[in-house]
Structure 1
């Protein structure tokens, strides 16, 4: 995996220019470019025999509308016939398939088949511009990540959810956050860190709108600031002001209280 930094030197020779998007043909080069430029990757699975893929090229990728997003992402074309390992990794058995992912390879949004450019363009337009935590992603790419790296990434994706109203993007980001917090639990060197990861996993249920489920789960946890915050947040979202205030009064963290304003 470390070789992607070497491959990045050949990035210019590995790109193909369509009318509005500069496509990269190498998975490793795309990840290296995304890491260097601090961008997300739009990965398009296709094949030369795929009719809908060709229509997608002419109706979306090659249109002027794509110009607005040409600098926002790194664009990667993956031929499923010559890159079967990558296709299998991302379950691209049906094409076209488009995935938005980070430089570490964490998939955040996907769409299978081509029906309308508006579905894809909406995701591109609403995807947050928040810079990724480069140090943490670098460790993930280089396979040197530790419990703190996983926690930082879980928290970052959790915060990123607040930057978009797109339900599918939120779902993908919360799933990514879950994955990282579960890695924290797996690698945690202390019970306290494992418990903090558990609180954040429960908070993600609340951010999905599963308030009753979140409260039921957190009610079993030991008394803590995060427990009171999650209860207050859920009651706030349910419109139960008095219940919310009951738990807010137990919170001393200004940061947590500010999130309930």
Structure 2
């Protein structure tokens, strides 16, 4: 009897599915929840007959480290057996497949095939913790398409999100910030209003987006033509961008010179804090 009980427990333990944090939310419900939480949506395309899918459940999605990171996202699972419409919509032809998108449906990541726990952890860590500001700015820009401030704030909020992200995700967010900058420039041209300090601020934001996208040399080139006569805030921003760009291009001496200039600059609190965060002593 005791042997039978042990065998029964063993059979049950080996057949129970791994516990994951995925839900069966609809596409619309997941998007609404992501907008409310200020986060992204993870979509996992899965089937019970898919061996690699089940292995990922056992070795990846059920792990505490992964689930702790997933708690920052809306997690949605799509059964590839029964949802041919969604498979076609997303262009999924093989599983397992993983897509991460924002609340507006903009795609930030796509991968077909098995991913290790280490790869998932590295991926999820690239995403910023909060998207409330960018989502609110998206709404305002849609409601007020002819207002300079709505596009400027959209560019600003996405840049802040890009600063909190890393890798390819930071680059994608920076590109969205650039979209806002382009629309803001159009509004300035349309209104025939081009205050020099404001134009320079847009240029510096574009330079920082280049930096956030991994194009430090291009950021330095853009700043080279902006340094004369900048107001206090723009000068501090320029010092920050140059210092970070020199670090990324392997020029620590020049980076230190820029940091010294940043410390001496007026209106430098925001950029000093950012520099210290990015370059802890």
Change (3 A) 1:84 1:180: farther
Q: Which residue of 2 aligns with 1:34?
A: 34
Kept after mapping to 1: 8 A contact 2:20/2:57: no
2:55 is the counterpart of 1:55: yes
How many Å separate the matches in 2 of 1:137 and 1:24?
29
Tell which structure's C-alpha radius of gyration is larger.
Answer: 2
How many Å separate the matches in 2 of 1:95 and 1:24?
17
Change (3 A) 1:64 1:83: same
Q: Which residue of 1 aligns with 2:143?
A: 144
Q: Which residue of 2 aligns with 1:180?
A: 177
How many Å separate the matches in 2 of 1:71 and 1:260?
29
Kept after mapping to 2: 8 A contact 1:184/1:194: no
How many Å separate the matches in 2 of 1:55 and 1:150?
45
Q: Which residue of 2 aligns with 1:214?
A: 219
Q: Which residue of 1 aligns with 2:73?
A: 73
How many Å separate the matches in 2 of 1:205 and 1:220?
15
1:205 to 210, 215, 239: 210
Kept after mapping to 1: 8 A contact 2:41/2:101: yes
How many Å separate the matches in 2 of 1:228 and 1:66?
38
Q: Which residue of 2 aligns with 1:234?
A: 245
Q: Secondary structure at the match of 1:77?
A: strand
Once the two structures are superposed, what CA deviation does each residue of 1:227-247 show, in whole Å capped at 9, x if it has no partner? 454334434653115742685
How many Å separate the matches in 1 of 2:242 and 2:119?
35
Q: Secondary structure at the match of 1:183?
A: helix
What's the CA shift for 1:185? Answer: 0.8
TM-score (normalizing by structure 1)? 0.68
Change (3 A) 1:73 1:230: closer
Unaligned runs of 5+ in 2: 1-16, 277-281
Q: Secondary structure at the match of 1:24?
A: coil
Once the two structures are superposed, what CA deviation does each residue of 1:37-64 show, in whole Å capped at 9, x if it has no partner? 3332112234566543343334333556
Q: Which residue of 1 aligns with 2:188?
A: 190
What's the CA shift for 1:184? Answer: 3.1
How many Å separate the matches in 2 of 1:115 and 1:257?
37
How many Å separate the matches in 1 of 2:139 and 2:107?
17
Kept after mapping to 2: 8 A contact 1:228/1:248: yes
Q: Which residue of 2 aligns with 1:99?
A: 99
Residue range with higher mean Cα deviation, 198-207 or 53-62: 53-62
Looking at secondary structure, tell me which structure has more helix per residue: 2
What's the CA shift for 1:155? Answer: 3.0
Change (3 A) 1:174 1:22: same
Q: Secondary structure at the match of 1:130?
A: coil
Kept after mapping to 1: 8 A contact 2:43/2:76: yes
Q: Which residue of 2 aligns with 1:113?
A: 113
How many Å separate the matches in 1 of 2:63 and 2:199?
48
Once the two structures are superposed, what CA deviation does each residue of 1:98-147 show, in whole Å capped at 9, x if it has no partner? 2333212233344331142331134335644335227616717x953645
Unaligned runs of 5+ in 1: 1-16
Residue range with higher mean Cα deviation, 101-110 or 192-201: 192-201
